[in-house]
Amino acid sequence: MRELFERGDAVAVLPYDPRTDSLVMIEQFRPGALRGEESPWMLELIAGVVEEGERDMDVVHREAMEEAACELSDIVPIATVFPSAGACTEQVRLFCGRVSSAAIGAVHGLQEEGEDILVHSIPRVDALQMLADNQIPNGHTLIALQWLHIHGSELRERWC
């Protein structure tokens, strides 16, 4: 017998500022990461669940504003992944978006959702070093940073 968790789909976006060659990333508490000596506070992409009738781009823009007061343009697809296909139907569509503005250092999130989200600006080179040092345990973020490692220079040239 197999159990299957019907969660719905989600989107996630990696905000990139080509002028400063930096990323907007958020940090928030994740109870699933509360184990042993590992920190349950994760540095990750902006993300949200796609509600029925919503378009991915609407969710990307809504979540970017809710979680980081971040305005995005020039959104490009990264990948579509099944984070846990053995037990969950969720599909996550990953994107990279050009940052117009963001509330770096501020705490955001919806009070009714219990969100307590700290907004960071991280130089691309530092984020990629964190990736190389195995300091990114979040799968969506890991995939997006690997994509940026491959496409970042080209993207910066195109967006600057």
- Catalytic residues, by residue number, are 113
Q: How many CB atoms lie within 10 A of CB 3?
A: 6
Report the distance separating Cα 158 and Cα 9, nearest Å.
Answer: 30
Letter for the amino acid at 99?
V
In 3-state terms, what secondary structure has residue 91?
coil
CA atoms of 74 and 53, how far apart (whole Å): 23
Round to whole Å and give the CA distance between 30 and 12: 16
Q: How many CB atoms lie within 10 A of CB 134?
A: 8
